[in-house]
Amino acid sequence: MIVAVDVFRDRLQKLRKIRAAMLARAGRLNLSSNESASFVRKTVMVKLNRNLPTSGHAIIIDGVVKTEFATRDGVEVGAWDLKRRFPMLEVRIYDAAARADQKVSAS
């Protein structure tokens, strides 16, 4: 009886490791550093390098330059439309001539 319980426990532990590895590969499981295991493949995130424009204007969404515009009117319309459609985003307008950005409000 004790041997059967040990075999069952070992098989259950192996199945849990396999399931965790499959979920981690699919991107549905995040293990903290103290929970990481050798059977889970580790990936390195590479930061996207998007420099600020030297001329014109740009829309910055959550700290990342997304779209560049030649005119102030075009960037304002685009930024306000984005903020209206997605109010949870932090939308900013960057002016290359002034080297400054301005937060866009929803109203």
Give me the tens of pLDDT residue by residue for the chain, a chain 107 residues long: 566 677 778 888 888 888 777 766 655 555 554 555 555 555 555 555 568 888 899 999 988 888 899 999 999 999 999 999 999 999 999 999 999 999 998 76
Cα–Cα distances in Å, from 101 out to 2, 28, 80?
Answer: 69, 36, 14
